[in-house]
Amino acid sequence: MFIEDSHLADHPPWVNLLLAWYDQNKRDFPWRRKIDVYHTWICEVMSQQTTMAVVVPRFERFIATLPDVKSLADCSEDLLRELWSGLGYYARARNLRNGARYIVTERGGHFPANYEQWLTVPGVGPYTASVTASICAREARACVDGNVIRVVARLTGCSSADIWSELGRKKIQDLADRFIDHGRPGDFNQAMMELGATVCQKQSPSCERCPVKTVCRASRLEVVAQCPPNKPRKQIEFVELDALRVSSPAAGGDELYLLVGRKRGFLSETVGFPLFAETERSTLHAWLKANNHVKSVHISSDGLSHTITNHRISVRIVDVELFAGAALPSDFERQFSQQFADSLADCRWVSKSLTKKTVASSLDRKIWENIALF
Ligand code: SF4
């Protein structure tokens, strides 16, 4: 047994202490002033993997521009990108809009009324369903995020790396489900997360002002720093990619570059230079060789290195020059998007001067900087 929680059951008032502390100390966020299903859903998705300082102004702008589920369902791609700027993981914004479209078309604009119904909305998983159902429908579904895992590990004095396993996650979910306050499930979830974010922080927790210190086993045993242990590191994976820089002369001496919207891969849902995995190289190069718009293909001897989480990526830059001719860029673009339709959402030609502004990822910016040296 790597999570020992019997002492928590012996002290049921700890949940009351936690809720009383939350009532007095919760931070004033716009979505907490009045419970609104749409606001709760949006802020929950926005808050994943970022800080509240980043989320609050973007949430306010988002709600002012798209005040309801219908306006989100109708939102254009460009506006959605603009409103999501700075929040990262653009796929989440697209999922939100897909969910909004489902709610408008399949549910007549009515939000799901419980956890099970939320799970039928495209893009909504158990965590988001728990947040919305517990806060908006008072359903006793505990939410487990990184803050909650840390708080539970410390309350139970758990220093075993097993806490990061699937079984560990399930045990934490069971524990949180057992202790959730059935009268105030949404507040219980928010209080656990708030405690983790503002008091029981990863580095230097403020135990002296913690409302549940009396039941905290890690504090009593003076093992707070070991609970939970660091997550086991993921194994490094090495990846090779070809990045295409397809250029075409434009009027006024400028140059155009072909950028694509990516459907899959490391940088899925972003706009940038076409990227091809090692396994796609032979198809790509055979296609380029056979294409009669291609004037030359040159593989740069200076590759790039880039890291995304546990992936070490080495990128070969492949410069593709097209023949000059007014109709060529659009003709090439059409053929290219047909050939690689599986991986591309769209293609567009962008002038050299605008390319830097159009690409968003740091890998694309590196590829751009390499162009800028020409
Ligand atoms: Fe976290 Fe300290 Fe509170 Fe324990 S006493 S839950 S370690 S802040």
pLDDT tens per residue, range 68-86: 999 999 999 889 988 998 8
Residue 157 has pLDDT above 70, yes or no: yes
Q: What percent of the chain has pLDDT over 70?
A: 97
Res 41 pLDDT > 90: yes
Distance (Å) from CA 20 to ligand 1 centroid: 16
- Closest atom, ligand 1, to C-alpha of 210: 3
Kindly give the number of the ligand 1 atom that is closest to the alpha carbon of 199.
Answer: 8
Q: Are 46 and 54 in contact (CB under 8 A)?
A: no
pLDDT score for 372: 53
* The predicted structure's pLDDT at residue 297: 93
How much distance in Å is there from the Cα of 51 to the middle of ligand 1? 21
| Ligand 1 binding site (Cβ under 6 Å of any ligand atom) | 151, 154-155, 199-200, 205, 207, 210, 212-213, 216, 218-219, 224
Check residue 248 and give its pLDDT.
Answer: 85
Q: Supply 78's token pair.
A: 């460009």
Rounded CA-CA distance 293/320 in Å is 10
Report residue 364 as tokens: 């694309």
Highest mean pLDDT among 166-170, 342-346, 369-373: 166-170
Whether residue 232 has pLDDT greater than 90: no
- Angstrom CA distances, 206 to 94, 146, 278, stand at 38, 18, 49
**Catalytic positions, written as ranges:** 44
Selection from 332, 349, 243, 339 nearest residue 292 by Cα: 332
Cα 210 to averaged position of ligand 1 atoms, centre (Å) = 6
- What is the per-residue pLDDT for 335? 92
Long-range contacts of 19-22 (CB under 8 A, 24+ apart): 19/181, 19/184, 19/187, 19/188, 19/191, 20/211, 21/191, 21/195, 21/211, 21/212, 22/187, 22/190, 22/191, 22/194, 22/195
Question: Which of 219, 222, 226 for a ligand 1 pocket mutation test, highest count of atoms within 8 Å of Cβ?
Answer: 219
Average pLDDT over residues 120-134: 94
Average pLDDT over all residues of the chain: 90
Percent of the chain with pLDDT over 90: 67
Residues facing 327 on adjacent strands: none
**In 3-state terms, what secondary structure has residue 40?**
helix
150 CA: nearest ligand 1 atom: 1
Which one of 216, 222, 223, 226 would you pick to mutate in the ligand 1 pocket, going by the greatest count of ligand atoms within 8 A of its CB? 216
Minimal-distance CA residue to ligand 1 atom 1: 200
**Phi/psi of residue 312, each to 5°?**
-100, 115
Helix H segments across 107-238? 115-118, 126-136, 146-155, 166-179, 185-198, 217-220
pLDDT of residue 11: 67
Atom of ligand 1 nearest to the CA of 207: 2
Cis amide prior to 228 (ω within 30 degrees): yes
Task: Report pLDDT for 326.
Answer: 64
pTM metric for this prediction: 0.74
pLDDT band (50, 70, 90) for residue 355: confident
| 3-class secondary-structure state, position 332 | helix
pLDDT value at residue 374 = 46
CA triplet 10, 16, 19: central angle to 5 degrees? 140
What is the per-residue pLDDT for 7? Answer: 83
